[in-house]
Amino acid sequence: MGEALQDLAGDRMRRLIAALTSTPVKGVIVGTVVTMLIQSSSATTVMAASFVHAGLMTLKQAIGVIMGAAIGTTITAQIIAFKIKAFALPIIGLGMIFAVFGRTKRQKYVGNCIVGFGLLFVGMQTMEEAMYFLRDRQDIFLAFSHHPFLGILAGTGLTMLVQSSSATVGLTMAMASQGLLPLEAAIPILFGDNIGT
């Protein structure tokens, strides 16, 4: 989905981001929206840093974008929590119509973005179903409740490994929805997810 959005916007997106970050509040809004669209606060942060390096954005503007990236990640997690997976296949179908039958490159890129959005929810459903077999191994997850530092380390390590706090937050949510992870264990893992980003 992120690649499709970059194809859709290209250089125009870069110029727009630089223009829209003229104030810190605008920077936060841009960072939030971009992170929601490309599903990666790390990518948004790297883009902001590269814009600073290229002279397209000041450090002050980049700080707003990075703060917005953190907010965008939480909104992604909230979207996952809404349980709209019943709509995943229709969303993918709609995207495929645009991707296959679109007359312009722009329409095809929009289709690819929509397909990516639908696949996000298919992936979440698959992760939830895959976690079911771990119900017999709750002792592992209870260790995170009794030793929060282990949960922080696990969340940090997993996020660094997969390079996506959205994915690790989604995984944590999947485990919690299956009753594998109590709240006391999930919170340290979520802290670690954010540190790993």
At position 37, the amino acid (one-letter code) is L
Rounded CA separation 91/138 (Å): 35
Domains held by the chain: number: 2
For residues 71 and 167, membership in a common domain is answered with no
Verify that 96 and 173 share a domain, yes or no. Answer: yes
**35 and 128 co-located in one domain:** no
Mean pLDDT of 105-133: 79
Mean pLDDT over the full length of the chain: 79
Say if residue 98 is in the same domain as residue 147: yes
Res. 126: pLDDT tops 60: yes
Domain range for 21 is 2-81
The reported pLDDT for the residue numbered 155 is 86
74 and 154 belong to one structural domain: no
Q: Is 96 in the same domain as 36? A: no
Instruction: Detail the DSSP E strand segments found in the chain.
Output: none
Q: How confident is the model at residue 19 (pLDDT cuts 50, 70, 90)?
A: confident
pLDDT at residue 85 tops 90: no
Do the beta carbons of residue 41 and residue 166 sit within 8 Å?
Answer: yes
Tell me the residue ranges of DSSP E strands in 29-133: none
Mean pLDDT of 133-146: 69
- Location of structure tokens 């039958």: 101
pLDDT digits (tens, 9 = 90+) for 39-68: 778 788 888 887 787 777 788 889 999 999
Amino acid identity, position 56: L
Nearest by Cα to 36 from 125, 152, 91, 116? 116
Instruction: Please indicate, yes or no, whether residues 77 and 90 belong to a single structural domain of this protein.
Output: no
